Amino acid sequence: MPKQPSHHPKHIPQRTCVGCREVNAKRALIRLVRTENGVQIDPTGKASGRGAYLHDQRSCWQKAMKGALANALRMSFTDDDRQRLAAFIAELPEHESSDVK
């Protein structure tokens, strides 16, 4: 017997932005991961370790850096972590991008 086509939409994983608490598609957010070398940006979204997600806008990252990101990753940031993240934040757009929300 031939397999009937599925009429269910494909499941899209959802994640919550640590900065603004908005739920969005996993692929629309940037993943950070806790590693032995501190917090790292995970462009593949597949690195092993405790992860957290943020939108690609500066306001979300600034809110998250006040404590929510460290809590989500269950770690304390080192000075190196803060410098690395600050450099990344400086490259982000200041205002919300059109594909968010």
pLDDT confidence tier of residue 7, bands split at 50, 70 and 90: confident
User: Any idea what the CATH number is for the domain that residue 62 is in?
Assistant: 3.30.1230.10
**2 found inside a domain:** no
pLDDT at 1 (0 to 100) = 60
d(CA 74, CA 42): 17
pLDDT of amino acid 40: 96
Tell whether 8 is covered by a domain.
Answer: no
Q: Which of 32, 39, 79 is nearest to 60 (CA)?
A: 32
Q: What is the pTM of this model?
A: 0.84
For residue 49, tell me if it sits in a domain: yes
Residue 3 falls within a domain, yes or no? no
- The answer to whether residue 100 sits within a structural domain is no
Q: pLDDT digit string (tens) for 28-45?
A: 999 999 999 999 999 999
pLDDT digits (tens, 9 = 90+) for 47-94: 999 999 999 999 999 999 999 999 999 999 999 999 999 999 999 988
pLDDT exceeds cutoff 90 at 101: no
- Total domains present in the chain: 1
> Is the pLDDT confidence value at 100 over 60?
no
Range(s) of the domain holding residue 45: 14-91
In a domain, 65, yes or no: yes
Residue 77 in any domain: the answer is: yes
Exposed / middle / buried, residue 99 (Cβ in 10 Å: 0-12, 13-18, 19+): exposed
**Residue 4: inside a domain:** no
